[in-house]
Amino acid sequence: MESPTVALHSVIDHTILKPDARRVDVERFCAEARAQAFFSVCVNPIWVPTVAAALAGSGVATCSVIGFPLGAIPTELKAAEAAWVVAHGADEVDMVIDVGGLKDGDHARVRADVAAVKAACGTALLKVIIETCLLDDAEKATACRLAADAGADYVKTSTGFSTGGATAADVALMRATVGDALGVKASGGIRTRADALKMLAAGASRIGASASLAIVAG
């Protein structure tokens, strides 16, 4: 049952992250986002200046991904990447967590990684992709707590480029872990209105999808 308090289009990050995306594709996504009043358009860093210009004055935010899709780059490079996209117009940054560090139990390294990117974001909102498909439930909860401790604004399920995407169970676990302190973004494999509503019912406050038009059309 659809929530009467949430306009579905207003919580969607209209996402185009495929490596072969061309300018015409990115510009089409921007036009779609303006027409549908999606929350943001989410792109790889190279497209941030294009998207920021195309969305100027529309009320649709520009979002970019950092350390994507593996998260396995040095913290200094993640921070530099975040600073670059913000300087070129990104309002929001979705970073991939240090998955290997988390699984090694190196919590200080994971926390510091997120904190450095948060500092580089300035006033831009930071979402932390924990890549749930690679973690057990205890690791998912730990990742959420570390992200919160480091100052993140959101935790996010997935890149959509690994072995699995968002599940309602993972969203519910993440929401239970962070409570009302952080947002929860569900992304990866959300292709229908029913999928999106299931994620919202489980506790998501944002949806990342490339099939956004199909989702809002039902």
Domain positions in the chain: 8-217
Q: Can you tell me the distance from the alpha carbon of 216 to that of 218, in angstroms, rounded to the nearest whole number?
A: 5
Task: Supply the DSSP string of 132-178, one letter for each residue.
Answer: GGGS-HHHHHHHHHHHHHTT-SEEE---SSSS----HHHHHHHHHHH
Is there a catalytic annotation at residue 94? Answer: yes
Average pLDDT, the chain: 96
Is there a catalytic annotation at residue 156? Answer: yes
Q: Can you tell me the distance from the alpha carbon of 24 to that of 105, in angstroms, rounded to the nearest whole number?
A: 43
Note whether 189 and 207 are within 8 A (CB): no
Is there a catalytic annotation at residue 185? Answer: yes
Share of the chain above pLDDT 70, in %: 98
pLDDT digits (tens, 9 = 90+) for 154-208: 999 999 999 999 999 999 999 999 999 999 999 999 999 999 999 999 999 999 9
Catalytic residue, candidates 78, 118, 127, 185: 185
Q: Can you tell me the distance from the alpha carbon of 63 to that of 135, in angstroms, rounded to the nearest whole number?
A: 25
CATH 3.20.20.70 fits 8-217, yes or no: yes
pTM of the model: 0.96
Catalytic residue, candidates 13, 156, 170, 195: 156
pLDDT digits (tens, 9 = 90+) for 86-145: 999 999 999 999 999 999 999 999 999 999 999 999 999 999 999 999 999 999 999 999
